[in-house]
Amino acid sequence: ETGVTQSPTHLIKTRGQQVTLRCSSQSGHNTVSWYQQALGQGPQFIFQYYREEENGRGNFPPRFSGLQFPNYSSELNVNALELDDSALYLCASSEGTDSNQPQHFGDGTRLSIL
Amino acid sequence: GENVEQHPSTLSVQEGDSAVIKCTYSDSASNYFPWYKQELGKRPQLIIDIRSNVGEKKDQRIAVTLNKTAKHFSLHITETQPEDSAVYFCAAKRASGGSYIPTFGRGTSLIVHP
């Protein structure tokens, strides 16, 4: 059984650019959630994908978008990057969308905006 | 939306002592409360969780209690060890439009002194 993996581990971008972060879910997990974790804060829910469709979203603007693929991998895309987007981005997969399904996190991508 | 408050932000104890971290939530519809441990530079790891129909759950040195009426839940670690040192996050999950949205607390940095 493989765990959740994310790439890249670190990334530096400048304001206004676009970025794509990638996540490979744990085998058998059809649900993936993305989080933004600023330094010294708890993870903030961005959105969740289930069977390739977005089925829940937190308080993030439309320039944060995502995709989920049939092989359980997923992407987080952020357009028009702002300085405040600097954070650790975590993805987490689970077996389903029920509230009590445990989530398994990846190591995250550290995004720095200059 | 949901609001989760976590206290204290920092907790320093001697090895062998007990540690208690408390969280309150605002949305009575929240029904699942996981706790995560995040070591420096590593992914959050689920250490224990509790569902809203249960008042207490224990797993070796770790226990969680839930008071639905007062809307608060607590993490208890007994016989603390230096390897328990990490940041601990509570979360509350509530249903929203067919999915379940998690809200995390801001974290408690636990330091266990040998």
Q: What is the pLDDT of residue A72?
A: 81
Peptide bond into B8 cis (omega under 30): yes
**Which of B6, B36, B99 has the CB atom closest to A55's CB atom?**
B99
In this structure, what token pair is assigned to residue B18?
A: 């007990």
- For B85-89, what is the mean pLDDT? 97
Q: What is the pLDDT of residue B53?
A: 84
B1, pLDDT greater than 90: no
- For B62-89, what is the mean pLDDT? 97
In this structure, what token pair is assigned to residue A26?
A: 């744990």
B 26-55 near A (Cβ less than 8 A): 31-32, 34, 36, 42-46, 49, 51
Q: In whole angstroms, give the CA distance from residue B73 to residue B111.
A: 21
Task: Name the burial class of residue B51, with classes exposed (0-12), middle (13-18) and buried (19+) by CB atoms within 10 angstroms of its CB.
Answer: middle
Tens of pLDDT along B22-39?
999 999 989 899 999 999
Task: Name the burial class of residue B101, with classes exposed (0-12), middle (13-18) and buried (19+) by CB atoms within 10 angstroms of its CB.
Answer: buried
Q: What is the pLDDT of residue A2?
A: 62
Tens of pLDDT along B41-68?
889 999 999 988 889 999 999 999 999 9
Q: Greater confidence, B101 or B106? A: B106
Q: Is A73 on the interface with B (CB under 8 A)?
A: no
Q: Is A59 on the interface with B (CB under 8 A)?
A: yes
Q: What percent of chain B has pLDDT over 70?
A: 96
Q: Please report, in tens digits, the pLDDT of each residue of chain A (114 residues total).
A: 468 999 999 999 999 999 999 999 988 888 999 999 999 899 999 999 988 999 889 999 999 999 999 988 999 999 999 999 999 999 999 887 776 778 899 999 999 999
A51 vs B contacts (CB less than 8 Å): none
